[in-house]
């Protein structure tokens, strides 16, 4: 398999993740006993750190507050090997934050975010990073970005390979008009239904999705189904991948690890099928840590997991 190409550029959110993992069934309108933890987060920041753990070079373009959370996130991100020299530090805004309350299975029950500092990632600012972005082998964006920033990326880097993460159901709508410009899109099931105007989640879902994608001549799509696996679309073929169910400590970083696996496979020139298996393996390993990015991730561990869970590698 080929050597890693040049580098990726990730543009989007960096948060402090606050996770509440309850000890017992949640009682509404009451104070619940929980294990509460802090870790660096943010969709593209998480993807960047995962890529760095895989030894893929990545530049992160994000915004941080001049506060303790910002200092903590930057320190952790830099120590993982991600370059932050093209990111912003803003003294007038707080670092982005993300608060998640999990259920007893480790799955997100409800979450809140405050990412307004990303309003500072403007087209004017991104224009100062044109050469860095244009010379990259992969551009990674998330829907935390403002509409103007997304428009700048899609308008000015039409010949680059773009990965996009919808982030959430409400934010995914920002990407709808750019779908044909996205090389790899990674929504969950609900986001895919919104993005492709689908009507069903039942047994006819894959047939309806296939018809819609073939009409639009889409690139590559990977729909996350959580612990049920993923649905892949590539070269007019829909395929479902499953994996052995694992006990989950925290599912919050799984989707970001999944995307990092897709980007890493692209940088390594791997086949789409192998890349998808690698990405699913990444996501599975991510769920085995209370941290949003599992520090035990490396290419060797992921490949070993892949071999153990997928026949013929």
**pLDDT confidence of residue 216:** 63
**pLDDT confidence of residue 200:** 66
- pLDDT > 60? residue 313: no
What is the number of domains present in the chain?
Answer: 1
CATH number reported for the structural domain that contains residue 47 in this entry: 3.40.1190.20
Q: Could you write out the DSSP letters of every residue in 116-146?
A: GGGGG--HHHHHTTHHHHHT-SEEEEETTS-
Across the chain, what does the average pLDDT equal? Answer: 89
Q: Where are the beta strands (DSSP E) in 136-282?
A: 138-142, 162-165, 184-185, 220-224, 230-234, 237-241
Contact (CB, 8 A) for 262 and 184: yes
Locate 123 and state its tokens. 């087209």
Read off the DSSP letter of residue 38.
E
**pLDDT confidence of residue 311:** 60
pLDDT for 242-272, tens place per residue? 877 777 776 778 899 999 999 999 999 999 9
Reported confidence tier of residue 217, pLDDT bands at 50, 70, 90 = low
CA atoms within 13 A on the CB side of 57: 8
- Name the phi and psi angles at 18, rounded to 5: -110, 115
In a domain, 226, yes or no: yes
In a domain, 2, yes or no: no
pLDDT for 65-80, tens place per residue? 999 999 999 999 999 9
**Looking at per-residue confidence, does 106 or 303 come out higher?**
303
> What range defines the domain where residue 256 resides?
8-309
In a domain, 73, yes or no: yes
- pLDDT > 90? residue 229: no
């Amino acid at each position: 398999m080929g050597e890693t190409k040049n580098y990726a550029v990730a543009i989007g959110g960096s948060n402090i993740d606050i996770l509440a993992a309850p000890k017992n069934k949640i009682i509404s309108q009451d104070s619940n006993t929980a294990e509460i933890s802090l870790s660096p987060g943010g969709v593209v920041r998480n993807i960047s750190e995962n890529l760095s753990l895989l030894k893929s070079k990545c530049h992160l373009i994000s915004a941080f507050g001049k506060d303790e959370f910002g200092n903590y996130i930057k320190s952790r991100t830099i120590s993982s090997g991600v370059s932050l020299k093209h990111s912003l530090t803003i003294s007038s805004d707080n670092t982005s934050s993300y608060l998640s309350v999990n259920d007893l299975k480790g799955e997100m029950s409800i979450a809140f975010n405050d990412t307004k500092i990303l309003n500072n990632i403007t087209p004017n600012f991104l224009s100062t990073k044109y050469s860095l972005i244009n010379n990259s082998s992969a551009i990674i964006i998330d829907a935390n970005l403002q509409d103007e920033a997304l428009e700048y990326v899609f308008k000015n880097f039409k010949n680059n390979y773009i990965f996009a993460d919808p982030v959430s159901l409400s934010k995914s709508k920002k990407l709808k008009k750019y779908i044909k410009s996205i090389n790899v899109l990674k929504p969950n099931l609900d986001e895919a239904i919104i993005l492709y105007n689908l009507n069903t989640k039942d047994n006819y879902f894959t047939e309806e999705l296939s018809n819609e994608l073939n009409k639009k001549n889409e690139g590559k799509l990977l729909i996350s189904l959580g612990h049920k696996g993923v649905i892949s679309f590539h070269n007019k073929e829909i395929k479902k991948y499953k994996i052995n169910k694992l006990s989950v400590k925290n599912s919050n970083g799984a989707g970001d690890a999944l995307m990092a696996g897709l980007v890493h496979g692209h940088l390594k020139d791997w086949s789409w099928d192998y890349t998808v298996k690698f990405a699913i393996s990444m996501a599975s390993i991510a769920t085995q840590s209370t941290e949003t990015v599992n520090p035990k991730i490396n290419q060797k561990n992921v490949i070993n997991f892949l071999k153990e869970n997928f026949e013929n590698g």
